[in-house]
């Protein structure tokens, strides 16, 4: 299966233009399937039968994996088999009957406006690191960009005059506006923080760590958890919590879904509609609490 998985990865990269993280996720899922089959003496793709795939899904369920994890594995297998069938490597797509477990959709965790304000107050702007941390938190909440996009930003991607930040991946780019507080924090960082942290003057990454190297995902995760604890926020927040909060607060205050979709970079508006559902739930709760006949 190794050759077929490698070809599938090339297809994802060259044709589908998927992100590196998505491609690696597919590969991880398929390599687990490959290992399972090899342990049972099945080494060739065309030797795998429909019941072997069913047995593999049953094996994942017995391991008590979450429904979402099993569903993702099934999606990877289906995409892989669809690719092989369309490419003529196999004569039948035996993955068609695989059924994903039902997933209970949970609304994303978001912070209140008060909690966001508390979080933004935590970095101590008496040091270059604190100035940088403040700018990163403000920009993340102001734009709703992904943490990978945040740490990949170059200095030239931020236009302080127009109040726009440009995010890029392999196939497209989008410009996202940011507001006054983020602009103030960025100006302070560029004037008083970044140069003090830089070790290599030619490095054009916007945010750097205390060693002068580009900020890492892990570094920022630790940073946000540290400030959340300092702010007294009880929920276990991640950088994605600020992205969810950005979108939910925009919708709650009247932003239209299409605009929020574009800012978030969602390819399908159905992904963005969850924030409208969250707002609808809050309206219903407010009605039930306040209406005399609610």
Query: Per-residue pLDDT tens for 68-104?
Result: 899 999 999 999 999 999 999 998 899 988 887 766 6
Q: Round the average pLDDT of the chain to a whole number and report it.
A: 90
Q: Residues 279, 250: contact at Cβ < 8 Å?
A: no
The residue whose two tokens read 């979108």 is: 247
Q: Determine phi and psi for 173, rounding to 5 degrees.
A: -140, 155
Q: What is the mean pLDDT of residues 40-60?
A: 91
**Tens digit of each residue's pLDDT (9 = 90 or more) over 178-205:** 999 999 999 999 999 999 999 887 789 9
CB-CB neighbours of 75 under 10 Å: 16
Q: Residues 129, 198: contact at Cβ < 8 Å?
A: no
CA torsion, points 145, 126, 128, 173, in degrees to nearest 10?
Answer: 20
CA distances (Å), 108 to each of 104, 132, 241, in order? 12, 27, 8
**Tens digit of each residue's pLDDT (9 = 90 or more) over 226-276:** 999 999 999 889 999 999 999 999 998 989 999 999 999 887 787 888 888
Question: What pLDDT score does 290 carry?
Answer: 64
Question: What is the pTM for the complete model shown?
Answer: 0.65
Alpha carbon distance 52, 81 (integer Å): 14
Alpha carbon distance 261, 274 (integer Å): 11
């Amino acid at each position: 299966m190794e050759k077929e998985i490698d070809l599938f990865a090339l297809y994802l990269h060259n044709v589908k233009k998927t992100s590196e993280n998505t491609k690696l996720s597919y590969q991880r899922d398929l390599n687990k399937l490959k290992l399972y089959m090899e342990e049972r003496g099945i080494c060739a793709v065309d030797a795998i039968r429909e019941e072997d795939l069913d047995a593999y899904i049953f094996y994942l369920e017995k391991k008590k994996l979450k429904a979402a994890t099993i569903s993702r594995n099934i999606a990877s297998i289906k995409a892989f088999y669809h690719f092989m069938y369309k490419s003529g490597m196999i004569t039948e797509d035996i993955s068609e009957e695989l059924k994903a477990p039902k997933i209970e959709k949970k609304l994303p965790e978001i912070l209140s406006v008060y909690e966001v304000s508390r979080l933004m107050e935590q970095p101590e702007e008496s040091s270059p690191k604190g100035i940088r941390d403040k700018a990163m938190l403000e920009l993340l909440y102001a734009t709703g960009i992904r943490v990978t996009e945040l740490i990949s930003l170059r200095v030239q991607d931020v236009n302080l005059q127009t109040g726009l930040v440009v995010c890029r991946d392999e196939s497209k780019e989008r410009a996202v506006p940011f507001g006054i507080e983020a602009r103030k924090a960025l100006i302070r960082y560029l004037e008083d923080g970044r140069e003090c942290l830089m070790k290599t003057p030619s490095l054009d990454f916007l945010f750097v760590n205390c060693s002068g190297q580009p900020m890492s995902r892990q570094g920022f995760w630790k940073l946000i958890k540290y400030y959340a604890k300092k702010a007294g926020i009880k929920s276990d927040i991640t950088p994605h919590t600020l992205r969810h909060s950005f979108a939910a607060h925009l919708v709650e205050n009247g932003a239209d879904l299409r605009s929020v979709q574009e800012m978030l970079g969602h390819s399908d508006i159905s992904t963005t509609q969850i924030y409208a559902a969250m707002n609808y739930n809050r309206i219903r709760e407010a009605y039930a609490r306040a209406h005399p006949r609610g």
